[in-house]
Structure 1
Amino acid sequence: MGLSLWLVPNPAQLQLIQKVLPKQPETRPVSAASYPEITPHITLASSRKATQDALLRAIPSTLHPIPVEFQKLEVGDHYFRSVFISVKKTTELVALHEHIMAALDRDGASPSAPAFLHVSISYIADEDGVAERKKAADELRATTVVEGPETGLDDAESVVLRCGDSEGGRVCLTGFEGTEVWIVRCEGPVQHWQVLHKTTATPGVAQD
């Protein structure tokens, strides 16, 4: 896969989301490659040709926090999109993505971003099949994910993540604030991926 640029939630929200991600089930056998620990993120671009310096140049010199809104829990047909939450296409997200893709194109990096605008919740190996992916999604709906009209939001296509309780009551997320862009080397098994660099957004107005 080469190098990737990820938009990552702020540290507090990242910790909340990671707490409720599916883990290896104890009641049924699955592949060792299924349910690895992952960092929830939006992949802004990936490239086999790009260098770390090229990715650094592609990140806007002024990076502001990006609001991300969850849209729908979905089951996919690819390991890296086994169970994911689609994300609403906002001008801020599209502008950041287009800026990065154009910069990498100018560097001859041939960037890609398959199924741009999704946050993967679980990676499940092909040998475990669609049935295991659907099972994981159903278990999320039973414990963590609230969808559609049940969210109490006006938008029929919306998702809320129940992330546990705190002193102030139940913690629920309808999205997150993307405050960091990471450069990640995605080679080999997921547990061997390396975070090479983190760029932190400057608080203030949202990304133009």
Structure 2
Amino acid sequence: MGLSLWLMPNPTQLQLIQKVLPKQPKTRPVSAASYPEITPHITLASSTKATQDVILRAIPSTLYPIPVEFQKLEVGDHYFRSVFISVKKTTELVALHEHIMVALDKDGASPSAPVFPHMSISYIADEDGVAERKKAADELRATTVVEGPETGLDGAESVVLCCGDSEEERVYLASFEGTEVWIVRCEDQCNTGKCYIK
């Protein structure tokens, strides 16, 4: 499927987010390709034409931590965007994305980044349908995701992730700090438990 550039949460936040991602449900049958283990990230760009050298050249020589603010829990119509959190287009995030897209385009890599910016939290196979994707989103709202005015944040469109196994360990994330850009080679099968290799 090609190479991608991912903006990654700092390691502590990455672990917290990974703990609350949906797992295969035990109460209903779903496809083996649904609910694989995924690594939360923002896709800055993907290309089926780019070589690793081209991808490396597209990354700015100086990188600073990028604030990533959650906006809304959404259900999509594509496997890789089955259930995702849309992200606010902050100046820093847009500038990094545009720099990378322009550099890749100049090298003839035909980059893409559909529905930029977003953070996928579930991949659900097409055969499980929109109903399963909506069910996954509803279950997240019941256990993990706080939306809208209830977040205590400004604006109607805001999301907080409730991370932690108990009330004492609970951490509320309305954002994360993007501290690394990963180059990943995307595999085309997700039913092996992991979708990507670094």
TM-score bracket, shorter-length normalisation: over 0.9
1:118 is matched with which residue? Answer: 118
2:178 is matched with which residue? Answer: 178
The question of whether the paired residues in 1 share the 8 Å contact of 2:44 and 2:97 is answered with yes
After TM superposition, give the deviation of residue 77 of structure 1 in Å.
Answer: 0.5
In structure 2, what is the Cα distance between the partners aligned to 1:154 and 1:165? Answer: 27
For structure 1, which segment, 77-86 or 157-166, has the greater mean C-alpha deviation from structure 2 after superposition? Answer: 157-166
What is the identity, as a one-letter code, of the residue corresponding to 2:73? L
After TM superposition, give the deviation of residue 164 of structure 1 in Å.
Answer: 1.4
Q: Describe the SS at the equivalent of 2:132.
A: helix
In structure 1, what is the Cα distance between the partners aligned to 2:196 and 2:151? Answer: 35
In structure 2, what is the Cα distance between the partners aligned to 1:193 and 1:7? Answer: 14
Instruction: Work out whether 1:35 is the aligned partner of 2:35.
Output: yes
In structure 2, what is the Cα distance between the partners aligned to 1:167 and 1:77? Answer: 34
What are the Cα deviations for residues 97-155 of structure 1, in whole angstroms up to 9, with x where unaligned? 00001111111111111111000010000000000000000000000000001111122
The question of whether the paired residues in 2 share the 8 Å contact of 1:165 and 1:171 is answered with no
In structure 1, what is the Cα distance between the partners aligned to 2:196 and 2:144? Answer: 27
Instruction: Work out whether 1:100 is the aligned partner of 2:128.
Output: no
Instruction: Work out whether 1:88 is the aligned partner of 2:77.
Output: no
1:26 is matched with which residue? Answer: 26
After TM superposition, give the deviation of residue 194 of structure 1 in Å.
Answer: 1.6
In structure 2, what is the Cα distance between the partners aligned to 1:62 and 1:148? Answer: 35
2:47 is matched with which residue? Answer: 47
What is the identity, as a one-letter code, of the residue corresponding to 1:116? F
1:194 is matched with which residue? Answer: 197
| Structure 2: runs of 5 or more not aligned | none
Within 5 Å, give how 1:55-70 maps onto structure 2.
Answer: 55-70=55-70
| Alpha carbons of structure 1 residues 24 and 49: separation in structure 2 relative to 1, 3 Å | same
The question of whether the paired residues in 1 share the 8 Å contact of 2:36 and 2:195 is answered with no
What is the identity, as a one-letter code, of the residue corresponding to 2:122? S
Q: Describe the SS at the equivalent of 1:30.
A: coil
The question of whether the paired residues in 1 share the 8 Å contact of 2:9 and 2:176 is answered with yes
The question of whether the paired residues in 1 share the 8 Å contact of 2:69 and 2:174 is answered with yes
User: Which structure 1 residue ranges, 4+ long, deviate > 2 Å from structure 2?
Assistant: 165-170, 190-193
After TM superposition, give the deviation of residue 167 of structure 1 in Å.
Answer: 9.1
TM-score (norm 2): 0.95
Within 5 Å, give how 1:136-151 maps onto structure 2.
Answer: 136-151=136-151
What are the Cα deviations for residues 150-173 of structure 1, in whole angstroms up to 9, with x where unaligned? 111122110000001679652100
In structure 2, what is the Cα distance between the partners aligned to 1:33 and 1:67? Answer: 32
Aligned-residue RMSD, C-alpha: 1.3
Identity %: 86
| Structure 1: runs of 5 or more not aligned | 196-208
1:73 is matched with which residue? Answer: 73
In structure 2, what is the Cα distance between the partners aligned to 1:153 and 1:142? Answer: 19
